[in-house]
Amino acid sequence: MKRRAFLALLVASAAWADEPAPRVIPISARKFEFSPAELELKLGEPVVLELTTEDVHMGFDAPALGLHADILPGRVARVPFTPDKPGSFEFACDVFCGSGHEEMSGVIKVRS
Amino acid sequence: MQGIDRRQFLKVAGLGGLVFASGLARGAETYASGADEFFFVQLSDTHWGFQGAPNPDAAGTLPKAIAAVNALDPQPDFIVFTGDLTHTTDDGAERRRRLTQFKELISGLRTKEIRLMPGEHDASLDNGEAYREFFGPTHYSFAHKGVHFIALDNVSDPAGRIGDEQLAWLAADLAKQPRDSRIVVLTHRPLFPLYPQWDWATRDGDKAIELLMPHRNATVFYGHIHQEHHFKTAHIEHHAAKSLIFPQPAPGSVPKRAPVAWDPAQPYRGLGFRQIEAERGEYKLTEFPVVRV
């Protein structure tokens, strides 16, 4: 690698290292609940939701925050976001998964 | 998108329901030739097989509704059920047992022309396999006295999508219709995002609405939300029907969606079916309770 390119990479790496790593929040889905079903986040704090399912194909939908993911068995769905408004925001499973599907929901509380 | 002004509702004495005159802004001249008057009945969300406190008479409600429809005089030209005929079960044999019982029950309707479509409770866990065994295709179209009816399936995909293949079919079906044809879409979920937080939406419903947009006389009747609801996206009206098992709360009116509790003082409150009269380019909706008080 040429010296100039190497220095540029070093500078870029240092800048990236100054950014706080986003907090990773695991969320597990199973018939018919999310765990945890209630999240408390800080306004402006970057997070990554890591969604997994213990049984069947599920969905994660928080329309007021513009967040959505399909949660497939054996995979991790990563949803990065930074809350930019305080309040309580509902999320729900939007993939029909059985007789308790309608009750499968949770809330994200964003504190200022 | 816009709501529909409640002032457009006309109270009808003696019927125990309400009449909604739909399509008032449309020019009657559009239908001056060849348009016949008729009416049909919409029933929805019967959830046959449900057991629970929200309806202590779950096994008796559908038979009562059938008796109420049979008491209509004159009888409707046809009857539609807009999905969730049965309550879901993980057991495929039990699903088929419920579909069998439902089929037997509706054979008691005096009107023999019956149009069915699935809800997510019927079809989402097996992609519509059992439903098709009993009732055939989950999407189709038919003509009746100058109105083109389209049944759309937004439930066989458990994610609540119509899907590209069916959307292409819809586009081809609509392409055969003149832009001023009367078009009625029958479906289970709302095509517009009524309240996605409660899964009251169709993921690709916007694509279906886009296809309907050039047709200036398109109207949608649907179920899923267990309550009467009226809404407009541009010129397209969307009318949700009551359930025949338990009512649901108004969109976003409570923190968590749950059936409205059964009231022993007012049994069957919030349940019912509707009559839809097609007359000179208008649809007059009359809501009926399951039982007359």
Distance CA A108, CA A106 (A): 7
Q: Which amino acid is at B29?
A: E
Would you state the pLDDT for residue B255? 86
Distance CA A34, CA A32 (A): 7
Distance CA A15, CA B161 (A): 43
Cβ B220 vs Cβ B236: under 8 Å: yes
Would you state the pLDDT for residue B26? 37
Decide the pairing of beta strands A77-81 and A47-53. antiparallel
Would you state the pLDDT for residue B178? 97
**Residue B33's pLDDT band (cuts 50, 70, 90):** very low
What's the rounded mean pLDDT across residues B147-155?
Answer: 98
Percent of chain B scored above 70 by pLDDT? 88
Interchain pair A92, B87: CB under 8 A? no
Overall fold of domain B2-30+39-289: Purple Acid Phosphatase; chain A, domain 2 (3.60.21)
CATH architecture designation of domain A21-111: Sandwich (2.60)
Lowest mean pLDDT among B32-46, B47-61, B202-216: B32-46
Number of residues in chain A:
112
Residue A50: Cβ within 10 Å count: 15
Query: CA of B165 to nearest chain A CA: how many angstroms apart?
Result: 19
Would you state the pLDDT for residue B225? 98
Query: CA of B248 to nearest chain A CA: how many angstroms apart?
Result: 11
Interchain pair A96, B198: CB under 8 A? no
Q: No. of H helices and E strands in chain B?
A: 6, 14
Per CB-CB distance under 8 Å, the chain B contacts of A105 are 197-198, 256-257
Whether the predicted pLDDT of B81 surpasses 50? yes
Q: What are phi and psi of B144, to 5 degrees?
A: -145, 110
Cβ B273 vs Cβ B223: under 8 Å: no
Give tens-digit pLDDT for A9-35.
555 555 555 667 899 999 999 999 999
Per CB-CB distance under 8 Å, the chain B contacts of A61 are 196-197, 199
Would you state the pLDDT for residue B151? 98
Could you give the count of Cα atoms lying within 13 Å of B143 in the half-sphere of its Cβ? Answer: 10
Give tens-digit pLDDT for B153-209.
999 999 999 999 999 999 999 999 999 999 999 999 999 999 999 999 999 999 999
Give tens-digit pLDDT for A71-104.
999 999 999 999 999 999 999 999 999 999 999 9
Per CB-CB distance under 8 Å, the chain A contacts of B193 are 63
The pTM of the full predicted model, rounded to 2 decimals, is 0.88
Closest chain B residue to A92 measured between Cα atoms? B197
> In sequence order, what are the residues at sequence separation of 6 or more whose Cβ sits closer than 8 angstroms to the Cβ of residue B220?
B184, B185, B186, B187, B191, B212, B236, B237, B238, B239
DSSP, collapsed to helix, strand or coil, labels residue B87 as coil
Per CB-CB distance under 8 Å, the chain A contacts of B89 are 99
Cβ A29 vs Cβ A53: under 8 Å: yes
Query: CA of A38 to nearest chain B CA: how many angstroms apart?
Result: 13
Distance CA B75, CA B197 (A): 39
Sheet hosting strand A47-53, strand order edge to edge: A33-35, A23-30, A47-53, A77-81
- Complex ipTM tops 0.90: no
Domain boundaries, chain B: 2-30+39-289
